[in-house]
Structure 1
């Protein structure tokens, strides 16, 4: 029986790389959020309210678990979080 990945045009060697790149991006996102909180740029509740007001769906407990590496967020929430962190970073630089 032929391998479905090969029959769909995917090579086996590409799957782990994509998963690895995604994992690295998620860890970078977690790190950016933790760094912002640790350096006093914003609090976790402030980040969550900003996230929620931009259309994020995860609750504060889910967000906390995400930052601790205990669970993942849905893709849509990850995109919202990236947008919010970028906006907060921009605000930091423009107010400095």
Structure 2
């Protein structure tokens, strides 16, 4: 039987991936989950992720269209107005934090 999680991999059995820095035990930062309306597909996820990733201090973004949630990890808490502007630029609407 094959294990679903490779100990040398950054990916967990649930399919999420982490950075080598997090795996090395360094501070992962602040994680905030936002609700975004209007995402329906992978293209939507990519557009939102790309815009939010461009914000200063953002280290990781995972958007999931099915749930409308965007998980953002940053070195410090983000200004919600900046996140809202990034989501607007992508063509979607920030509904707030989840």
Structure 2-normalised TM-score? Answer: 0.35
Q: By percentage of residues, which structure has more strand? A: 2
Q: By percentage of residues, which structure has more helix? A: 1
Structure number, greater radius of gyration: 1
Structure 1-normalised TM-score? Answer: 0.35
Q: Which structure carries more relative contact order (alpha carbon 8 Å, separation 6+)? A: 2
